[in-house]
């Protein structure tokens, strides 16, 4: 197993600032927007983005954390069970513009389950997808991000790890190569 650093904190910071600019460009004052972090790891990216947006004066953002476990398509298909994380959706999404936020987009199956799960809170006006890392050429479903941090080419069996540290200087994204 070998690993290669894809993004260090400096690059991550530049990317997050760009993503914030792109979100502001599209969503203006965010009055009709709900930013939804996908559990478990998308919520950590959501927290970073919200911190940056708060610094830029966007205080009253509507936020949510969505767990998609019960909507996944691999229930009973793994030896390991699917354990759920906490969902915190305190408002209806009826007529709102939803932005899903996740760290790595791989097969697209998690996003598919999120698209079904969000429906249980109402019918949104639109749904967009923001990801930090897009693993190209590995999609199982026709799903593409609207806001993208960086693209990576990785073989099946490789792992992309996003480490969010309490000390943000240690944040890192690296690729774990399967040595076989």
Residues near another protein (CB under 8 A) are 67, 69-72, 75-77, 79-87, 89, 92, 116, 119-122
Output the CA–CA distances (angstroms, integers) from residue 117 to 19, 49, 93, in the order listed. 25, 23, 11
Give min distance, CB of 108 to another protein, in A.
17
Residues ≥6 apart with Cβ < 8 Å to 4: 174, 175, 177
For another protein, give the closer residue by CB, 69 or 107.
69
For another protein, give the closer residue by CB, 69 or 138.
69
SS3 content of the chain, % helix, strand, coil (to 5): 30, 30, 40
How does strand 97-105 pair with strand 126-135? parallel
For another protein, give the closer residue by CB, 19 or 34.
34
Give min distance, CB of 134 to another protein, in A.
26
For another protein, give the closer residue by CB, 48 or 112.
112
SS3 148: strand
Sole residue written with tokens 């109402």? 122
Give min distance, CB of 81 to another protein, in A.
4
SS3 6: strand
Residues ≥6 apart with Cβ < 8 Å to 97: 27, 32, 33, 34, 124, 125, 126, 127, 128
For another protein, give the closer residue by CB, 70 or 165.
70
For another protein, give the closer residue by CB, 31 or 116.
116
Give min distance, CB of 138 to another protein, in A.
23
Q: What is the DSSP letter of 171?
A: -
Give min distance, CB of 73 to another protein, in A.
9
Give min distance, CB of 40 to another protein, in A.
12
């Amino acid at each position: 197993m070998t690993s290669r650093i894809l993004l260090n904190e400096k690059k991550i910071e530049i990317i997050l600032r760009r993503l914030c600019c792109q979100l502001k460009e599209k969503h203006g004052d965010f009055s009709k927007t709900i930013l939804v972090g996908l559990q478990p790891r998308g919520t950590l990216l959501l927290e970073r983005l919200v911190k940056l947006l708060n610094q830029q004066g966007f205080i009253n953002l509507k936020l949510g954390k969505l767990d998609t476990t019960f909507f996944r398509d691999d229930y009973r298909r793994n030896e390991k069970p699917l354990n759920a994380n906490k969902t915190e959706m305190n408002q209806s999404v009826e007529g709102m513009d939803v932005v899903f936020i996740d760290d790595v987009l791989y097969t697209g199956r998690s996003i598919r389950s999120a698209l079904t799960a969000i429906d249980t809170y109402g019918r949104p006006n639109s749904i967009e997808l923001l990801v930090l890392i897009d693993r190209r050429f590995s999609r199982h479903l026709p799903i593409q991000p609207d806001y993208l941090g960086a693209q990576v080419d990785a073989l099946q069996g490789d792992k992309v790890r996003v480490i969010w540290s309490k000390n943000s200087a240690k944040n890192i994204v690296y690729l774990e190569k399967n040595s076989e």
